[in-house]
Amino acid sequence: MTTNRASWPDVDRPDAGSVLLAEADARETSVKAILDRARREPSPPGLRSVTLFRSVEDETLVAYTQWAKDEADHAYVADLMGAGNLVEYRLHRSGVRDNSPAPGCVVLVTVDFDGSDPQRQQRWIDTVFDAMAGETQPAQGGISGHFHVSVDGTRVLNYAEWTDERAHREALERSGQGTVGSSPGWRRVQEFPGVISGGYRRFRLVGSVSATPAGGAVGRAVEGAEVSDSPMEWVAEHVRAYVETDGRTGHLYQGWPTLLLTTRGRRTGRLRRTALIYGRDGDRYLLVGSNAGSPEHPAWYLNLRSDPGVAVQVGGDRFDAQARTATAEEKEQLWPRMTAIFPLYDSYQAQSDRDIPLVVLERSS
């Protein structure tokens, strides 16, 4: 498995059919030890990812682990986390904001019912979606809601991504009723029959380990597979020339070094390829998600944020890589390298309200 220092889980990944959630005391548990063990030791065949979150309010450490359907290994997670209170879930329904920004906080919302009833779990989730659909001004900081049902039929988990903790607090305060919205539908959520308890906690990402999605890495999947090139014809022509000549034509494009990046579409699962200007930081490759300064992130960036496993071609060198968004500190250090190559990046950032991301590609071992 591959350690991703700043990668959020791909909640919708197609090869994950089960989720195991475990909690531990962060004061008694080493995040580094958990991630090192998950990366280095042989893991159960059904394990897809381990993502660790630390509570903003207390010392709770939560592991969100993804598994192939019906292959969740409770004993493995209990031993890994030193915890015995595990709950197994299935993802039931998701809602994701268009052109969503990068998350800065996840809110785990849990609701318990007075007995096992899978149909009731689903009806409660549908009631929440009806309430959200009735919002005339949705909370600006809300990014997504991924609703999971426990396999025992007694609990619902909403894995909700937000821009930051403050945005979630402000949404609750605006509603004045302990919900993230104020439409009439929220009263039906609060008065839903059979609910015996509920609550939420805010968490920050502290680390993750993920396996290559089923079917092989994006890089290996490119060979012999249908890959869609950029819808912009001039970019598609650049890509075709690059591929046909092993980069002899196209690696230097109007004087700028370029590489080919293949990502997996976050909605379709199809392979998408484009050409991008790149920089170097030692063995790492650097990209800028400028989108010419537009308000929205480029599609390739949204894809790799969902699935960080990518394929890269630099000249005739083809390899798999893991992609991640540079931290604020890294961006401050590395940004001048990219503007030295393409000075317009500074202009794009100045004209955009969006924090243009700098992406780091690290060759997979």
* Better-scored residue on pLDDT, 20 or 180: 20
Average pLDDT of span 37-55: 88
Helix (H) or strand (E) run with residue 50 in it: strand 47-55
Q: List phi, psi (to 5°) of 248.
A: -60, -35
pLDDT bracket for residue 224 (50, 70, 90): low
* Angstrom distance (rounded) from CA 363 to CA 87: 35
For residue 214, what pLDDT is reported? 42
* Angstrom distance (rounded) from CA 365 to CA 354: 33
222 pLDDT higher than 70: no
CA-based radius of gyration for the chain: 22
216 pLDDT higher than 50: no
The candidate with the shortest Cα–Cα distance to 180, out of 109, 92, 89, 94, is 109
CA distances from 87 to 1, 77, 124 (A): 23, 11, 19
Which residues sit opposite 64 in a β-bridge? 21, 51
Which residues sit opposite 144 in a β-bridge? 96, 161
31 pLDDT higher than 80: yes
At 313, list the tokens: 């071609």
SS3 label, residue 157: strand
Same fold, 2-210 and 218-363: no
Which residues sit opposite 19 in a β-bridge? 66, 89
Burial class (CB in 10 A: 0-12, 13-18, 19+), 216: middle
For residue 223, what pLDDT is reported? 56
Q: Structural domain boundaries of the chain? A: 2-210, 218-363
Please state which CATH class domain 218-363 belongs to: mainly beta
pLDDT bracket for residue 28 (50, 70, 90): confident
pLDDT bracket for residue 178 (50, 70, 90): confident
The candidate with the shortest Cα–Cα distance to 202, out of 175, 167, 173, 178, is 167
CA distances from 157 to 61, 68, 87, 111, 112 (A): 16, 19, 10, 7, 9
> pLDDT tens digit string along 142-167?
999 999 999 999 999 999 999 999 99
For residue 135, what pLDDT is reported? 87
The candidate with the shortest Cα–Cα distance to 209, out of 7, 361, 14, 356, is 7
* Angstrom distance (rounded) from CA 154 to CA 39: 33
Lowest-confidence pick of 6-10, 110-114, 153-157, 216-220: 216-220
pLDDT bracket for residue 129 (50, 70, 90): very high
> pLDDT tens digit string along 106-126?
999 999 999 999 999 999 999
213 pLDDT higher than 50: no
At 180, list the tokens: 């993230």
> pLDDT tens digit string along 312-334?
999 988 899 999 999 989 999 99
Under CATH, which number does the domain 2-210 receive?
3.30.70.100
